[in-house]
Amino acid sequence: MLNKKAECISLTITVLLLIATLTVSLNLTQTQVAAASNPLVYIDPANITGLPVSTNFNIKAKIANVTNFYGFDIQLKWDKTILEYKNHTARVPVQTYPDGVLNTPFMQLTETVDENDSISGAEPGTMAWIGYSSKSPAAAFNGSGTMVEITFRVRGTGRCKIEFVATAIADKSGMPITHGRQDAFFNNAPLPSPVNIRIYPPSIVDSALTPCHNTSIDVKVFAVTELYTFEFWIDYNSTVLNITEVTVNPLFTITDVQILQDQGKVRINATVGPTPQGYSGDLTLATVKFHVTDIGQTPLDLHDVRLIDKFAQNIPTREVGDGYFNNMLITKMFVSPPEIIDPTMKPGDVFTIDIKLQNAIGMYDYEFKLGYDTAVLNALGAVVLPPNNDTNFIVELKINDTQGVIWVKVQYYQPAQPISIYAAAAVTRIFFQVQSYGQTILDLYETRISDPSGNGMTHVAEDGFFATLLRDVAIWSVNVTSPNKVYPGRIVTIQVRAMNRGNMTVETFNVTLHYDNETIETKTVTLNPWTMILLTFYWDTTGMESCHNHTIWAEASAVPYEIDLTNNVYYDGWVKIKYLGDINGDGQVDIFDAVLLLHAYGSHEGDPNWEPDADMAPPWGVVDLYDAVTLTSRYGLGCGGP
């Protein structure tokens, strides 16, 4: 196995290099290598693109800028569905390979290739493990050279890294040499489909958002694949809005937010972090909260968008959707209430909605059509509600319950005076009957509001929404799947089954696992109707006090309009934190524990007589003298004292 100190140093530098590659090209030029001041282990070329299937190509694992170099141990992996290993040559020593590394005499430490990831002793995922060292009286190597050259055949299409799983390089005294490392990237996949990124809601038009009120927007990306880093700017009119808070999606752990309030700009940059993975699907990237400072309007200009995947490749964007804010006096025609979602409503029930006007100054007639899904609703009728006592108007009203359209037109005539409606007022009431379970947009369209001269008045129209459905999430089971009597510091595995018991709506909710009144972990799940998911939690008991029993339970956060909350919580299971040395968990360190330890003494993990709770002290994975001393030093003690 590789020196752990070397691994830690290498990993730290790898993280920094990985983040750095997000802002530069993956092509690592010889000039860049030569300019580096620290030792660097890297693959050349760093970027292999466009090769068709069945093509052979070579890569070289190189080292640069090294002094007093005496040995290397490198482990590599690749995607075997895309690349097929053909052969390799270790370029050792320089007496044989002038472009290679190390001096003679030398010894081979390991040289194994297995694309099935089954190399004994190697790190998980390793497909090639190659190590060489000079030996006395060889001189140390200084400078740059090639450690190994590998030939691949292109097996399929796609994208993958040819990456170092682990690297260790040593000096002549056997100490690790601190170094950076650079992987390679292979890509012969078709260009990815562009994605949409936009501000949501796209329009905030609300005269109630007067100064001192707050509002917010989300920046969302749709159908993205393996997003690793994003950056964008939003411009706004800072005389109307000021930014008070920016919240970045917590999946992206490294964030940089720059608010230029005096310029009306904000830059948001975020990265998943050192873990080499990306996130796919529809994602909310960030939420921006504004404080309203004045009456007015402003575009919310989304620009300079940069999306990068886990391979440090740009993700193209098809459409960048800006936003808009307006809190001036806006004439509106809208459905009220805007949303009816009632799980108690059933087929045959009757309800009403109103069509309302607001800020319609000097109105003399109005007209609209309202569309609905006839599989969900039946239209029973409509009633015009005059906003004043004037009777000089003509009503035209048609209901087509086959097509799902209601048409209403109200026209005033002399001597009627123009009507001014400031606060929202109902002008038409519509009666519906529930036909069946389901949901439908109440689509308000072909709207018109006119003055006495017949001139149309600029206005906005807002739809409604109706749904009768069951929304219910539940915790189905809680099960401690690992031993439930453990020493402090051991990992307890707990499985939780959560379910969406609703009939129509995809639900996103949190599942939180607890011990007693403390939280272990929260996971966010998204489930289709009437589906279940099995979640696995890992509880690290480090710091827990011995000799205590803890109750395990899980909770599902309530979703909107959920009526039955009794099944959102499920208690089941317990975990006892044992006294160290109490192998059988009876509360005392006694002869029974000693017998168990003696039976397992000398065993390694996986042996027939292996007893994990007898492995109490490092080195882990073997029951030895150190475990025996741990038990004997506590003999006669336990949860009940001596």
pLDDT at residue 641 in the model? 60
pLDDT band at 1 (very low <50, low <70, confident <90, very high): very low
- Stronger pLDDT, 28 or 404, i.e. the higher one: 404
pLDDT at residue 21 in the model? 34
Assess if residue 375 is contained within a domain.
yes
CATH of the domain at 231: 2.60.40.680
Digit-coded pLDDT (tens) for 270-283: 999 776 678 988 99
Last residue of a domain, one of 326, 350, 368: 326
pTM for the model: 0.42
Residues forming beta bridges with residue 333, ordered by sequence position: 357, 461
Nearest partner of 333 among 311, 366, 361, 310, judged by Cα:
366
Query: Cα separation of 640 and 88, whole Å?
Result: 63
pLDDT band at 31 (very low <50, low <70, confident <90, very high): very low
Assess if residue 589 is contained within a domain.
no
pLDDT band at 159 (very low <50, low <70, confident <90, very high): confident
172 contacts: CB under 8 Å, gap ≥ 6: 68, 70, 134, 140
pLDDT at residue 170 in the model? 78
Last residue of a domain, one of 134, 167, 187: 187
Q: What is the mean pLDDT of residues 620-635?
A: 82
Same domain, 317 and 407: no
Q: What is the mean pLDDT of the chain?
A: 88
Same domain, 46 and 132: yes
Digit-coded pLDDT (tens) for 88-103: 999 999 999 999 999 9
Tell me which range, 69-83, 235-249, 604-618, is most confidently predicted by mean pLDDT: 235-249
pLDDT at residue 176 in the model? 85
Same domain, 372 and 413: yes
Structurally, the chain folds into a number of domains equal to 4
Q: What is the mean pLDDT of residues 467-483?
A: 89
Cα 636 to chain centroid, rounded: 50
Say whether pLDDT at 214 is over 90: yes
Same domain, 141 and 225: no
**Whole-Å CA distances, 624 to 588, 593, 603, 605:** 21, 15, 8, 12
Taking residue 455's Cβ as centre, other Cβ atoms within 10 Å add up to 10
Q: What is the mean pLDDT of residues 520-547?
A: 94
Q: What is the mean pLDDT of residues 348-368?
A: 93
Last residue of a domain, one of 544, 577, 610: 577
Same domain, 167 and 32: yes
pLDDT at residue 275 in the model? 67
Same domain, 456 and 495: no
Domain interval for residue 337: 332-468
Same domain, 280 and 363: no
Same domain, 89 and 172: yes
